Amino acid sequence: MPARFPMPYPNSWYAVCDSSELRRGQVRRLQYLGRELVAFRGGDSVAHVLDAYCPHLGAHLGVGGKVQGDTVVCPFHGWRFAGDGRCVEAPYARTTPRCGVGSWSTVERNGVVWIWYHALGAAPDLGVLELPEHDDPGWTPFRRYRWTVKSHPQEMGENAADTAHFLYVHGTLGQPEVTSEVTPDGAFHATNRSRNKRFGVVVDTEVDIRVFCPGFSAIRFSELAEVLMLASSTPVDEETVEQTFRFAARRRGNPIVRALVSHLFMREVARQFEQDTPIWEHKVHLPRPVLCDGDGPIWQYRKWYQRFYSAQPISGEAKLPAAAAGHWK
């Protein structure tokens, strides 16, 4: 059977765990990007992510490995590895073997540990933006929702540009108005205005979507509540994505009403994600879709997305009716 997604893993920062899930002295096994990885936080409090298999005899550093100082110790024969992956000691050997494991560029932002993936091993050419709402006392701490979806980050992200599906999949009252642009700092920025029925009341919803890279987006909702959503998409393997939404709400008004409304709103966004899931899990990626003039900036999104691939996986142009073609320049 042909692969549903011809695209490789996009070059990007990817969330691998929350900072709070990697305490000082802790070791964590990670399984992302089709690889076995190990995360640890040494005595210096710095989070590190390494390839998991010890070069000695292949033990998994994340299963039984321990932190010692700023190093991780292999559970099998005690060899120690620094945060840069270098073997710094084989305790029973007279000479430390010159070897190591692969290490991943790692940053912590917004309470999340991120690693940089690049198909050709290039260093990061963009950062992970600090969101001003994170750790702001005027906003609640993040509430987390998580799913594992049989899809690809490009396919799932395309939702933001796909104007027409909101009516058919999410039941908006009419087609939303979607505008999009690529910002000077290279993010895909879309705004979505729609009319919705919530708990029997008709409300206008405004959504500001900024996709910074395939693994990291910030979505701001202004409706019954003012809500920020940090969305992270991390490939587990070539056809599986771990999707996490971290929601924060602005603290204003009656705290009980605000907590209730923002919680209900977060649940509604999560429910909408689950409405998309069966479509994503069964569709194929069409490199040459037939688009029409009401479809929203799907092709603009796809063109923008190409910057995250080392090789161009999409060739040719979408089959656009002549009348629609002008919308995609």
- Partner touching 276 among ligand FES, Fe ion, none, CB below 5 to 8 Å by kind: Fe ion
> Among the residues of the chain, which ranges form H helices?
153-157, 165-169, 255-282, 298-305, 322-325
Residue type (1 letter), 97? P
Pick from 208, 233, 66, 70: which is nearest to 151 by CA?
233
DSSP codes of every residue in 49-117: EEESB-TTT--BTTSS-EEETTEEE-TTT--EE-TTSBEEE-TT-SS--S-B--EE-EEEETTEEEEEE
Q: By CB under 6 A, is residue 170 in contact with ligand FES?
A: no
- Partner touching 115 among ligand FES, Fe ion, none, CB below 5 to 8 Å by kind: none
Minimum distance from residue 110 beta carbon to Fe ion (Å): 23
Minimum distance from residue 76 beta carbon to ligand FES (Å): 4
Tokens of 292: 């029409």
Provide the Cα torsion 118, 124, 129, 135; round to 10°.
Answer: 90
Half-sphere exposure of 274 (CA within 13 A, CB side): 9
- 146 or 252, CB closer to Fe ion? 146
Pick from 40, 43, 44: which is nearest to 52 by CA?
40
- 5 or 32, CB closer to Fe ion? 5
- Partner touching 77 among ligand FES, Fe ion, none, CB below 5 to 8 Å by kind: ligand FES
- 77 or 86, CB closer to ligand FES? 77
Q: Which of 12, 151, 159, 194 binds Fe ion (CB under 5 A)?
A: 159
Minimum distance from residue 227 beta carbon to Fe ion (Å): 16
Site for ligand FES in 27-86 (CB under 6 A): 54, 56-59, 74, 76-77, 79
Q: By CB under 5 A, is residue 276 in contact with Fe ion?
A: yes
Residue with tokens 């993936």: 117
- 159 or 300, CB closer to Fe ion? 159
- Partner touching 131 among Fe ion, ligand FES, none, CB below 5 to 8 Å by kind: none
Pick from 80, 92, 30, 28: which is nearest to 55 by CA?
80
- 87 or 227, CB closer to ligand FES? 87
Residue 30 class from Cβ within 10 Å (0-12 exposed, 13-18 middle, 19+ buried)? Answer: buried
Pick from 113, 48, 116: which is nearest to 244 by CA?
113
- 101 or 207, CB closer to ligand FES? 101
DSSP 8-state secondary structure symbol assigned to residue 31? E
Provide the Cα torsion 50, 52, 53, 54; round to 10°.
Answer: 50
Minimum distance from residue 233 beta carbon to Fe ion (Å): 14
Q: By CB under 6 A, is residue 269 in contact with ligand FES?
A: no
Q: Please state, as a whole number, how many other Cβ atoms lie within 10 Å of the Cβ of residue 126.
A: 17
Q: Convert residues 195-224 into a mask of x (bound to ligand FES by CB under 6 A) and - (unbound).
A: ------------------------------
Which span (44-52, 155-163, 298-306, 320-328) binds Fe ion, by CB under 5 A? Answer: 155-163
- Partner touching 63 among ligand FES, Fe ion, none, CB below 5 to 8 Å by kind: none
- 131 or 161, CB closer to Fe ion? 161
Minimum distance from residue 140 beta carbon to ligand FES (Å): 43
Please state, in angstroms and rounded to a whole number, the distance separating the CA atoms of residues 222 and 35: 38
Minimum distance from residue 101 beta carbon to ligand FES (Å): 10
- 97 or 141, CB closer to ligand FES? 97
Pick from 75, 54, 51: which is nearest to 63 by CA?
75
Q: What is the contact surface with Fe ion in residues (CB under 5 A)?
A: 159, 276
> For binding to ligand FES (CB under 6 A), which residues are involved?
54, 56-59, 74, 76-77, 79
